[in-house]
Amino acid sequence: MAEEKSQASSSKMLTLKASDGVLFEVELNIAKEMKTVQAYIDDCEDIETIPIPNVLGKHLAIVIEYIKKTNEEYDAEFEKQWNMDDLQLLLLAANYLNISGLQECLCKAIAKRIENKSPEYVRKVFNIENDHSPEEEAKLRKEYKWAFEGVDKD
């Protein structure tokens, strides 16, 4: 199917260069799904290699594959393969590259993984320090005590 796509539209290929130097050759219509890349192309038409300084090669590979294959079934299975750190890095990549479908999919996936977890777990996941004072935190927990019952074990 990807082949049909490229034959029908332009067969022009573009090179994307990840932050660790890994190079990816992609068809123009795939690259255009990344609105950040599209903006680059709009600015300089003849460009052949586009630097992607914020994204590691391994994550850029995953993002490109997602764009090629995305559909409902693929989305449902996609997020299961990645651990929480990768999910976040992929989300940052999708955010930088401005790919709305992938951002939506990853936000949903991360939300699903934290929705029934304790605040301690959530802090660990996002590497956040608890900057509430002990009194403030105790007050918040007491006010909605029932919301903290039955959360998943970390």
Partner 1 sequence: MDIPIHVLFDIMLKLPAVSLVRCYSVCSKFKSIVSDYSFQLSYFSKAPISIVVLSDRHRITCIDSSQNLNPIHSSDHGSSSSCMAMRLQPNSNNTSDSSSKRIKTIHHHHHHQQPSSSKFVSFHIHKRMNLINSSNGLLCLRGSNPHSQSHYYICNPLLGELLNIPPAPSAPDRNLCFSAFGFDPKTKTFKILQLVSKSNKLVAELYQSPPHSGGVKTWSVISDVPSAKPKPNSSFDPSLNDALHWVTDGAISELIYSFDLNSNKFKSIPCPSHFVDDEYVSNISGMSVGVLKGCLCLCYVVEGKRFETWSMDKYGVKESWRMAFSIDIKSYCGWSPQDKHRPIGFNTCGDMWLMADSISQSSSQCLVSFSPETGVFRHIDIGGNASNIQVIPQVLSYVSIKHMVNIRRKQHQLQKLSSAQNYALGFNLFVLENFR
The C-alpha atoms of residue 85 and residue 83 are separated, in whole angstroms, by 6
Exposure of 14 in the CB half-sphere (CA atoms within 13 A): 24
Distance CA 2, CA 10 (A): 12
Q: Which is nearer to partner 1, 69 or 139 (CB)?
A: 139
Quote the DSSP letter at residue 10.
-
Nearer to partner 1, 2 or 140 (CB): 140
In the complex, minimum distance from the CB of residue 118 to partner 1, in angstroms, rounded to a whole number = 8
- Nearer residue to partner 1 within complex by CB, 41 or 114: 114
As a whole number of Å, the end-to-end CA separation of the chain is: 42
Q: Looking up tokens 């799904």, which residue turns up?
A: 33
Q: Using the rule CB under 8 A, is 77 a contact of partner 1?
A: no
| Residue list 80-139, contact with partner 1 (CB under 8 A) | 85, 88-89, 91-92, 95, 103, 107-108, 110-112, 114-116, 118-119, 122-123, 126-132, 137
Find the binding residues for partner 1 in span 1-60 (CB under 8 A). Answer: none
Distance CA 12, CA 28 (A): 6
Taking the complex as a whole, how short is the minimal distance between the CB of residue 123 and partner 1, in angstroms? 6
Total residues contacting partner 1 (rule CB under 8 A)? 37
Q: Which residues make Cβ contacts (< 8 Å) with residue 109, sequence separation at least 6? A: 79, 87
Phi, psi of 24 (to 5 degrees): -130, 130
Judged by CB under 8 A, which of 3, 42, 149, 154 binds partner 1?
Answer: 149
Interface contacts to partner 1, rule CB under 8 A: 85, 88-89, 91-92, 95, 103, 107-108, 110-112, 114-116, 118-119, 122-123, 126-132, 137, 140-141, 144-151
